[in-house]
A and B are shown apart, each in its own frame.
Chain A
């Protein structure tokens, strides 16, 4: 029994630490600022962090295979700018949204192909993607374009009440959690998910085992592109605008959230659930700073940086322990 507990702790240690840190951070916030005890504040984490959650889910997949996707912020910006421009031109939102999703998938697919077939480092290939996507967003429009479409407005402004609680969320907020469930299903219950972990642990052996390495890697980048495009749609709905400068630095926030969620940047270790808590920690820091009011936003960056460092330390500690046992 003790052996089993130890195994459990070693296996889920990083995840449990992340959860504990989130709960502690939230409780500390509630203790400092009683207004944070309002359930609405908790749901605000999802409303404001919805796009970050989506991006981080895609990022988790890519990082699990041992790669990285720096283009996410660019794809968000490109999606917002493109959809704003299309809506302004009078295209129906029911055409625009699927089009954006396809755009994201194709973008990710291209990057995946460059990474896999041209053997370019993921870092460089997706960096090119970031430049390209942002540049295209600026070519579409140099200024912020407002979205006046009635369907987008109704999506943005219709609150959905949460049962039994005096709180509400918006329709786009639900996209993140739904995607999370899909991602959990993919990682835990499908062959695709197992292949991702296998590639992350050792690509060479995965290949020798006869796993579809090429297909999986390209699919993973496409999935990240899909998540970024969805995040872009959510982003454009919540801000009702499109602009090339939106979501700068999102790639960093997403990577930090993934790392805080216990995923190893070397690949092969981590969970999507952890990523959820990583995003929540990120958003909790932001809301504590907002409640404080006098502290400026740069503390978010410092806080996220320090937490990332701590989590990397914790991770390597657990990793060493697991290796020993």
Chain B
């Protein structure tokens, strides 16, 4: 620790990798696609790729915040994509102005009106998501099913439920106030950014200003010993999953509002995978334990910056998957023991063994 204390502190920080990755991508952009940084004012709001990163990435950031807590307890939530679809479907159905016994005509369907007041729609959305989260949490904490299996059930069934809610149709939303969440702007910045900020601050207060964060970490490191030291390990897990469902529900709200529709099959597709990637990139270990909410959010930003960069370079949207795989590969290599050992040897010093942190 005596040689390069500052350098080592930076390197050991959870933010080192995600911020480093972000910097690499941005430098790449600066060289090959300088247009990436253009920000213009269009009408009353800012416009540009960087704004798109935060606006399009907002749902992923939300899901990543929830997923961080779940992964920190040593679990994983595979159902977030399905919960997003359920939440989106709920919103669309409650808006749908054509009631069941009414003759459905195009005129009624495409009317800029809603069946249910907007606050109730939001509450119903959030309630549905939280309920899904509680269900997962119940299966994991009370029924003692492995997290991956327990959430897999909702992952498979959830998209079915979403389609059940919308009666198997892709519902287009015509109610303009609903669009505000995904397309609105406050002081020139997208509304979704503010939503992410609020949820992040709430989560941060929850885990850093109360002892819940400590409980979550201790459950993730060893749930049995946490139980014996008097931590209500079941309810800590339940809370983490419920919060993850809640975050996914908000993400569903923003996503459906952004694309003006609810599609049980495609809303939030692959979000579970992206969210896990974001969390892992943020340095939270899949085995649970220490976590950093901010690093996960940065991880989500990295994923979207990468995505939009690839788009800017003109790579077809579908081929993006292969590029993402390369990104995952790099992240895996950076986090592997080999690389850590290499780094540690690189800055040889007598101090605590950093490689052990893994």
| CB-based nearest B residue for A71 | B325
Contact A301 B160 (CB under 8 A): yes
Cross-interface CB contact of A124 among B152, B321, B328, cutoff 8 Å: B328
- Does any Cβ of B come within 8 Å of A27's Cβ? no
Q: Which of A30-38, A44-52, A128-136, A144-152 lies at the interface with chain B? A: A128-136
Stretch binding the partner chain, chosen from A6-14, A227-235, A252-260: A252-260
A252 to B: closest C-beta gap in Å: 5
Q: Which B residues are in CB contact (< 8 Å) with A304?
A: 156-157
- Which parts of A296-325 form the interface with B (CB within 8 Å)? 296, 298-302, 304-306, 308-309, 312-313, 316
Of chain A, the residue at the smallest CB distance from B269 is A248
Contact A123/B160 with A138-B318, A266-B146, A309-B153 known, Cβ cut-off 8 Å: no
Q: Is residue A121 within 8 Å, beta carbon to beta carbon, of the partner chain?
A: yes
Number of interface residues of A (CB under 8 A): 42
Complex contact B157–A139 (CB within 8 A)? no
Contact between B320 and A135, CB atoms less than 8 A apart? yes
Instruction: Let me know if A296 and B168 touch, CB within 8 A.
Output: yes
Give the docked Cα–Cα distance between A3 and B326 (Å). Answer: 56
B343 at the interface (CB under 8 A from A): no
B323 engages A135 (CB within 8 Å): yes
Give every chain B residue within 8 A of A306 (Cβ-Cβ).
Answer: 157
Q: Which residue of A lies closest to B329 (CB)?
A: A128
B324 within 8 A of A: yes
Chain B residues with Cβ under 8 A from A136's Cβ? 322
- Residues of chain B from 246 to 290 with CB closer than 8 A to chain A in the complex: 264, 273, 276-277, 280, 286
Q: Report the bound CA distance from A283 to B12 in whole Å.
A: 51
Q: Cα distance A256–B329 when bound, in Å?
A: 27
A138→B144 contact, CB < 8 A:
no
B319 contacts chain A at the CB level, 8 A cutoff: yes
Q: Which B residues touch A266, using CB under 8 A?
A: 146
Is B195 in contact with chain A by the CB < 8 A criterion? no
Check B160 against A305 for contact (C-beta < 8 Å): yes
Which residues, 146 to 195 on B, are CB-close (under 8 Å) to A?
A: 146, 148-149, 152-161, 163-164, 168
In whole Å, how far is B77's beta carbon from the nearest beta carbon of chain A? Answer: 13
Contact between chains at B148 and A135 (CB < 8 Å) = no
Closest to B146 in A: A265
**In the complex, which of the residues B76, B158, B273 has the most CB atoms of chain A within 10 Å of its own CB atom?**
B273
Proximity bits, B209-231, A CB within 8 Å = 1, else 0? 00000000000000000000000
Check if A268 is an interface residue, CB within 8 A of chain B.
no
Pair A252/B332 contact, Cβ less than 8 Å? no
Given A131-B325, A135-B318, the answer on whether A265 and B160 have CB atoms closer than 8 Å is no
Nearest A residue to B322 via CB reads A135
A289 CB, nearest partner CB in chain B, Å: 11
Q: Please, how many angstroms separate the alpha-carbon atoms of A131 and B164 in the complex?
A: 28
Is B337 on the interface with A (CB-CB < 8 A)?
yes
Cβ-defined contact, B156 with A114, below 8 A = no
State the CA gap A139–B319 with chains docked (Å). Answer: 6
Report how many residues on chain B are interfacial, defined by Cβ distance under 8 Å. 43
| B-chain residues with CB within 8 Å of residue A118 when the two chains form the complex | 332-333, 336-338
Q: A119 an interface residue at 8 Å Cβ cutoff?
A: yes
**Does the CB pair B318–A244 fall under 8 Å?**
yes
Least CB separation from A74: chain B residue: B321
Say whether chain B's binding surface is mostly helix, strand, loop, or mixed: helix
**Which of B146, B154, B160, B325 is the one whose CB lies under 8 Å from A135?**
B325
Cβ–Cβ contact B264 & A298, under 8 A: yes
Chain B residues closer than 8 Å to A125, beta-carbon distance: 332
Contacting pair B156 A305 (CB below 8 A): yes
Q: Tell me if A's interface is mostly helix, strand, loop or mixed.
A: helix
Contacts of A121 in B (CB 8 A): 286
Task: Tell whether B316 is near chain A: CB-to-CB under 8 Å.
Answer: yes
In the complex, whether B27 has a CB less than 8 A from a CB of chain A is no
A4, B164: Cα distance in complex, Å: 47
Please determine whether B152 and A255 come into contact, CB atoms closer than 8 angstroms: yes
- Tell me the complex Cα distance, A256–B324, Å: 26
Residue A157 is within 8 A (CB to CB) of chain B in the complex: no
B313 within 8 A of A: no
Q: Mark B310-349, 1 if CB is under 8 A from A, else 0.
A: 0000001011111111101100110011100000000000
Q: Is B201's beta carbon under 8 Å from chain A?
A: no
Find chain A residues with CB under 8 A from B152 CB.
252, 255-256, 308
Asked if A256 and B164 make an inter-chain contact with CB atoms under 8 angstroms apart, the answer reads no
- With a CB–CB cut-off of 8 A, which chain A residues contact B149? 259, 265, 308, 312
The answer to the question of B123 belonging to the interface, with a C-beta cut-off of 8 Å to chain A, is: no
Residue A240 at the chain B interface, CB threshold 8 Å: no
Q: How far is the CB of A201 from chain B (nearest CB, A)?
A: 16
Complex Cα spacing A125 to B336, Å: 12
Interfacial chain B residues near A207, Cβ < 8 Å:
none
Contact call B156/A142, Cβ cutoff below 8 A:
no
From the candidates B144, B160, B322, B338, name the one contacting A132 in the complex (CB within 8 A).
B322
A120 sits at the interface (CB 8 A): yes
- Which chain A residue shows the least CB distance to B166? A298
CA distance A128 to B324 in the complex (A): 8
**Across-interface contacts of A174 in B (CB, < 8 A):** none
Q: In the assembled complex, how far is the CB of residue B309 from the closest CB belonging to chain A, in whole angstroms? A: 15
Closest Cβ neighbor of A265 among chain B residues: B149
Contact with B along A162-173 (1 / 0, CB 8 A): 000000000000
Interface residues of B (CB under 8 A from A): 76, 143-146, 148-149, 152-161, 163-164, 168, 264, 273, 276-277, 280, 286, 316, 318-326, 328-329, 332-333, 336-338
A–B complex contacts, Cβ < 8 Å, 17 sampled: A118-B337, A124-B328, A127-B277, A128-B332, A129-B325, A131-B325, A132-B321, A135-B318, A135-B323, A142-B318, A265-B148, A298-B159, A298-B163, A301-B156, A301-B160, A308-B149, A316-B144
Residues of A within 8 A of B (CB): 68, 114, 118-121, 123-125, 127-132, 134-136, 138-139, 142, 244, 252, 255-256, 259, 265-266, 296, 298-302, 304-306, 308-309, 312-313, 316
Top 7 A-B residue pairs of the complex, sorted by shortest distance between their CB atoms: A135-B322, A305-B157, A135-B321, A301-B160, A132-B325, A138-B318, A298-B163
16 more A-B residue pairs beyond the given contacts A134-B321, A305-B158, with a C-beta to C-beta distance below 8 A: A68-B148, A114-B332, A125-B332, A131-B273, A132-B325, A132-B329, A134-B318, A138-B316, A139-B322, A265-B146, A298-B168, A298-B264, A302-B157, A302-B164, A308-B156, A316-B144
